[in-house]
Amino acid sequence: MGPRDAPYNGLQSVSVVIPTSRGGPDLETCLVSLIDQQYPNLEVIVVDNASPGSAPAALVHRFPGLTILRNEENLGFVGASNQGIEASTGELILLLNDDTALELGALSALVDNLRRKPRWAACQAKLLLMDDPSRLDTAGSFLTATGFLVHRGAFEREDRFTAADEIFAAKGAALLVRRSALDEVGLFDPDFFAYFEESDLCWRLWVAGWEIGFAADARVRHKLGATAAGLPPPFVQFHSFKNRLCTILKNAGAGRLATMLPLHVALCSGLAVWYTVRGQPKLGAAIVRALAWNAVKVPSTLRKRRRVQSHRRVSDRDLMPRITTRTPLRTLVLYARGGPAQKPGSAETGSA
């Protein structure tokens, strides 16, 4: 009997990992919402990514049992998340952004979704806008033939999505994942720093024969863009484009790679020219640097690709109809207007 078919035995322990480089009221709100879940067997780890002062460390007095891991430099969402996961002990791991707040029952709902769906390696909560919880941040992402993502339901009414279903990629703002699945495919790619890391992980899980789900009854509010808004747009642009391209190179099957890669590189190159022509040369240069980074990293990326493909249990012929959708014109228009680097509250931020 494989891990995907194993029976669910009792209430599983959960480790919550929250990277932060800010601390402050948002993090406190997040922690209070976790305590209000009243979930037994709960471990909470805050990874302090060189926050100013010692604000996160002071929270230990307010939240007994809280573990703080302090970094002297910012390791990014990827480095901090991997660090927290490696230090955790739970059978299930909940990754949370520091600007989220769980509504009552959200954690139990996430766990129960994995109980009901033993083939799900991970599931994303229903992410709602903090200031308007009647509308969605996202209800999961799907891949397109261009290699870009479509974030389902972004800014739409949340009551449009009331049933659990499968998605291509879950957003790391509120993502519950089985430790056994991570043991099989590995943690976030340490070369990513931030952006697209959860989509890469989800794609690896799909290739290995797992599934990814959307938990419609697990409601989590998200202060969209609270962290990204403080980052330089070229920084976001560089990491978003470099990580997306690297993910395609690692995870797409040979046939899909032959069609998706040239199309994606052509679109990225066209966007670089477009940004430069319309007076945003730093954004254009960031895309060029992202392409160059991937060119230099080809040997190491190919080694990663061999590892991913060696775990392949499902062909792209069977997989792609489940995880892809058409490319809406508005997605390309969004990038032509400035893309995620200029729109931290847009539908394409983060996982795009």
Q: Which helix (H) or strand (E) holds 283?
A: helix 281-296
Residues 162-178 have pLDDT tens digits of 999 999 999 999 999 99
List the structure tokens of 232. 């330089």
| pLDDT score at 52 | 77
State how far the Cα of 218 lies from the Cα of 149, in Å rounded to an integer: 23
Whether residue 75 is found in the same domain as residue 218 = yes
SS (H, E, C) 175-223: EEEEHHHHHHHCCCCCCCCCCCHHHHHHHHHHHCCCEEEEEEEEEEEEC
Whether residue 64 is found in the same domain as residue 157 = yes
CA nearest to 10, candidates 87, 107, 91: 91
- Here the CATH number for the domain that contains residue 35 is 3.90.550.10
| pLDDT score at 10 | 55
Picking from 204, 229, 254, the residue at the C-terminal end of a domain is 229
| pLDDT score at 16 | 98
pLDDT tops 70 at residue 347 = no
More confident residue, 85 or 345: 85
Picking from 184, 205, 229, the residue at the C-terminal end of a domain is 229
| pLDDT score at 339 | 56
pLDDT tops 70 at residue 242 = yes
Identify the domain containing residue 255 by its residue range.
233-342
Whether residue 177 is found in the same domain as residue 64 = yes
Question: Domains in the chain: how many in total?
Answer: 2
In a domain, 174, yes or no: yes
In a domain, 100, yes or no: yes
- Residue 67, classed as helix, strand or coil, is strand
Whether residue 211 is found in the same domain as residue 160 = yes
Residues 63-83 have pLDDT tens digits of 888 999 999 899 999 999 999
Reported as a pLDDT band with limits 50, 70 and 90, residue 331 is low
Residues 113-165 have pLDDT tens digits of 999 999 999 999 999 999 999 999 999 999 999 999 999 999 999 999 999 99
Residues 212-232 have pLDDT tens digits of 999 999 999 999 876 666 678
Whether residue 92 is found in the same domain as residue 219 = yes
Whether residue 153 is found in the same domain as residue 273 = no
Picking from 213, 229, 245, the residue at the C-terminal end of a domain is 229
Average pLDDT, the chain: 90
- Residue 193, classed as helix, strand or coil, is coil
| pLDDT score at 61 | 81
Reported as a pLDDT band with limits 50, 70 and 90, residue 349 is very low
Provide, rounded to the nearest whole percent, the portion of the chain with pLDDT above 70. Answer: 88
Whether residue 187 is found in the same domain as residue 269 = no
In a domain, 81, yes or no: yes
